[in-house]
């Protein structure tokens, strides 16, 4: 099984290793599963998640693939890059979820990007706000990949003070080398 290149993917080490690009409202927080008005998670090994607030919260990691032990030859062979993330809302407040993952060259210029439209979850419209998985596999992206930038987050839709926004956990980035 390929190793997860993201450090601290579920908040076991609070916000360590994450660059807080946007930290609005009450800011990012780590909570224990399932949390207030929360949902059970499908993996008992994941016991924490990151919670967002009423203003946009985005966090990211830039993975240096050479520092992780990959050679330029391995990377130029265009190994499949698989990204996975889990997100959910609360049962009492709507939220939006954002994710952007970029394959970057040696100058950290974008080679290829995965950036789906933000997802809005609204328990009042009978949306299922339980944990959802998003995944994407990059392939045939050309040579030159040396970094991967993983960024995700969101906010609540009611602008309530506190941590009523999207919850994220279980993130991963793997290379099929």
Predicted confidence (pLDDT) per residue in 111-135, tens digit: 999 999 999 999 888 767 889 999 9
Half-sphere exposure (CA, 13 Å, Cβ side) for 19? Answer: 8
The distance from CA 147 to its chain's CA centroid, rounded to whole angstroms, is 16
- Residue identified by tokens 């265009």 is 78
Strand ranges in the chain using DSSP code E only, listed in sequence order: 19-23, 29-32, 48-51, 57-64, 81-88, 95-104, 110-114, 119-121, 132-138, 147-156, 167-175
Sorted by where each starts, the structural domains of the chain and their CATH numbers stand as 19-175 (2.60.120.260)
pLDDT at 43 over 90: no
Say whether 75 sits in a helix, a strand or coil: helix
Separation CA 68–CA 144 (nearest Å)? 16
Check residue 29 and give its pLDDT: 94
Q: What is the pTM of this model?
A: 0.94
As given in the structure block, the two tokens for residue 95 are 């939220």
Check residue 64 and give its pLDDT: 98
Q: How many CB atoms lie within 10 A of CB 168?
A: 28
Separation CA 35–CA 79 (nearest Å)? 37
């Amino acid at each position: 099984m390929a190793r997860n290149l993201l450090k601290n993917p579920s908040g076991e080490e609070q916000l360590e290793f994450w660059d807080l690009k946007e930290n609005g409202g009450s800011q990012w927080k780590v909570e224990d599963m399932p949390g207030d008005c929360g949902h059970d998670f499908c993996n008992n090994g994941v016991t924490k998640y990151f919670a967002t607030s009423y203003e946009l919260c985005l966090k990211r990691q830039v993975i240096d693939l050479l520092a992780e032990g990959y050679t330029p030859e391995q990377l130029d062979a265009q190994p499949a890059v698989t990204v996975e993330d889990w997100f959910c809302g609360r049962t009492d407040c709507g939220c939006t979820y954002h994710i952007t993952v970029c394959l970057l060259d040696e100058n950290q210029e974008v080679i290829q990007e995965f950036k789906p439209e933000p997802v809005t979850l609204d328990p009042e419209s009978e949306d299922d706000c339980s944990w959802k998985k998003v995944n994407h596999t990059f392939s045939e992206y050309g040579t030159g990949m040396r970094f991967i930038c993983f960024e995700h987050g969101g906010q609540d839709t009611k602008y309530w003070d506190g941590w009523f926004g999207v919850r994220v956990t279980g993130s991963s980035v793997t290379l099929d080398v």
